[in-house]
Amino acid sequence: MTMEPPVSVETAPAAIRPTGASLAFNPVLHGLRGLAAMAVLLYHWRGSYPALAKAWQDLPLLGTTWDPLFLVQFGWIGVNWFFVLSGYLLAANLWRATLNPGQVLHFYQRRALRIYPGLWAQLLILLPFVYLTGLVSEFRWQQVLGNALLWFAPMPGGTAIYNGVYWTLPLELSFYLALPFMILFYRRTGVWTLLLASLAVTLVWRFGIAGLHHSSFSFHPSLLFIRNVLPGVLFVFATGFAINHFALRLSDGARQRLLLLVAALYLGFHYVLLGKKGVALQDDAVLLLSDLVLSLLIAGMIALMLQPLRGCGWLASRPLVWLGEVSFGVYLWHFPVQRLLPKLFPGLWGTPGGSALALLVCLLITLPLAAASYRWIEKPVLDRFARSPKRTPEPVVT
């Protein structure tokens, strides 16, 4: 692994080349994003319809027991995969740019168009259903506006969330705003300074908020402030950002062996977390540091898979690439679908068979909605923006 030295803004376009060089389409990254979306979907399914997971958690095997849905209970880490991938892809998109005000404004406009149209379309469709099924007893225009603008509690004046997955979207938007300044900071100081500074910000924020409520981490507003504001997850984005700095000078065989090692550490850390499961909210280190360690391992695996690697071709398969294309819609739609099913069809979901049926129905509804959102809302809006006058061509990073 070689490192490039920091350079000035003036020499940056010629001197810095991200690992993804021209940011050509990489189907493996799309596949990873599709898997991340499915991990979050399965995590929420397990929490909403737990009967099947409970029935399978102690299946006998070779004189012991095992849980075939072990990783599903850690599906929340799919959010960190999204954050690390965003850190890498979006930093690569601006890596060699001069970052004049016009370019930065163009970047902000494109990123806003990546999130808001799909969000607004969902709100228009979703609100009547949540009202008719009783999930929301009354509409308050302040709450509608807060959801439309992604301004949520615990921010000052923030509103309650209609869709539980919305909490990550303000973090993405905050990262978009910060990214050009992170690149400028990197160009003047280097990657290690950026990583250490982002880690310091994240730790000071997390332990500072935790210290305000040291008697009990079960105090929910404390948990919200720890991870629902950019300083609390800045290091997670920075790990993806830093991938652009490093160029791996390894043979395919060496990359395969290293990927297996990092993947084993990643899986092993899940078992460490499993052992902490009942005390996580009382264990400062588990609560405040676990996702940071996992994000480092995620960044390592992504870096090792940026170039074609034998054994990883399945990640570039057409179904997974398609799933990556519609992953934003999958992320937006799966949770309200899961919440609405018991309201629309009560009494069907309490058995293992009902739990499996809920997953099937969720997929049958969510995937077409996600595909429709991508085809008729998200992609047309971005394509029209790219064709608008005075737009300079740029790599498409969704």
Mind listing the pLDDT tens digit for each residue in 374-385?
999 999 999 999
Residue 32 lies in a domain: yes
pLDDT digits (tens, 9 = 90+) for 134-174: 777 777 899 999 999 999 987 888 998 999 999 999 999 99
Residue 105 lies in a domain: yes
What's the average model confidence in pLDDT over 281-310?
86
pLDDT at 243: 97
Determine the Cα–Cα distance for residues 91 and 10; give it in Å rounded to an integer: 18
The range of the structural domain enclosing residue 28 comes to 2-387
pTM here? 0.90
Residue 392 lies in a domain: no
Total number of domains in the chain: 1
pLDDT at 212: 74
| Local structure of 170: helix, strand or coil | helix
pLDDT at 132: 81
Residue 342 lies in a domain: yes
Residue 394 lies in a domain: no
Average pLDDT over all residues of the chain: 87
Residue 395 lies in a domain: no
3-state helix, strand, coil in the chain (%, to 5): 70, 5, 25
Task: Give the pair of three-digit tokens for residue 148.
Answer: 């439309």
Residue 179 lies in a domain: yes
Respond yes or no on whether the N-terminal peptide bond of residue 154 is cis (omega within 30° of 0): yes
- Our measurement of the distance from residue 382's CA atom to the centroid of its chain's CA atoms, rounded to an integer in Å, reads 20
Residue 276 lies in a domain: yes
| Local structure of 286: helix, strand or coil | helix
Residue 186 — pLDDT band, cuts 50, 70, 90? very high
Task: Give the pair of three-digit tokens for residue 231.
Answer: 């300083």
Residue 113 — pLDDT band, cuts 50, 70, 90? very high
Q: For residue 162, give the nearest of 173, 171, 150, 170 by alpha carbon.
A: 150
